[in-house]
């Protein structure tokens, strides 16, 4: 029974036959400069083929009818529109967690933060060393010349 609400659940196997099936494939590079892009869309048999290929390739599949209806209208290689970003981000988060990439992303972020802290500490040490190595300017004192007069 269709309640009109989008189901947000992972699919575990491709459907046998879904004549009104819609499928969208997204591409996103972690840490990339671009938003996720639509790389394939299809309805009916083409949607079934996209889903089958995803399962065969080990790609995680999510079901969200409302989001699919929005994304299927986009041109190929189009970036995701802002109104769909939150939903796509949730899906990507699920996919990364399922693929173990979330841990990889967290490790990369932690390594970057540690590298930044190390660089900052090294810069502070270098600055401190410069202060130590520079002679401190002092006032020049004149020494009186010996007085030959007695």
pLDDT tens string 2-16: 334 444 445 555 554
Cα distance between residue 4 and residue 23, in whole Å:
18
Q: How confident is the model at residue 118 (pLDDT cuts 50, 70, 90)?
A: confident
> Which are the contacts of 41, defined by CB distance < 8 A and separation ≥ 6?
22, 23, 24, 25, 50, 71, 72, 74, 76
Average pLDDT value over all residues in the chain: 74
Q: How confident is the model at residue 18 (pLDDT cuts 50, 70, 90)?
A: low
62 class by beta-carbon count within 10 Å (0-12 exposed, 13-18 middle, 19+ buried)? buried
Q: What is the CATH number of domain 9-99?
A: 3.40.1690.10
Cα distance between residue 47 and residue 14, in whole Å:
10
Query: pTM of the entire structure?
Result: 0.49
Supply the pLDDT for residue 2. Answer: 36
> Would you tell me how many other CB atoms lie within 10 Å of the CB of residue 23?
25
Lowest mean pLDDT among 37-51, 57-71, 99-113: 99-113
Most confident of 22-31, 95-104, 122-131: 22-31
Asked if residues 55 and 14 have their Cβ atoms less than 8 Å apart, the reply is: yes
Q: How confident is the model at residue 49 (pLDDT cuts 50, 70, 90)?
A: very high
């Amino acid at each position: 029974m269709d309640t009109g609400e989008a189901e947000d659940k992972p699919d575990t196997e491709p459907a046998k036959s879904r004549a009104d099936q819609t499928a969208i494939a997204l591409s996103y590079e972690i840490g990339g400069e671009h938003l996720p892009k639509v790389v394939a869309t299809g309805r009916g048999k083409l949607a079934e083929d996209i889903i089958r290929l995803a399962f065969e390739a080990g790609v995680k599949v999510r079901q969200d009818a409302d989001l699919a209806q929005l994304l299927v209208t986009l041109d190929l290689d189009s970036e995701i529109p802002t109104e769909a970003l939150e939903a796509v981000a949730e899906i990507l988060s699920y996919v990364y967690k399922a693929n173990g990439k979330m841990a990889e992303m967290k490790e990369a972020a932690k390594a970057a933060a540690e590298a930044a802290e190390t660089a900052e500490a090294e810069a502070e040490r270098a600055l401190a060393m410069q202060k130590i190595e520079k002679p401190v300017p002092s006032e020049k004192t004149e020494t009186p010349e010996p007085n030959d007069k007695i």
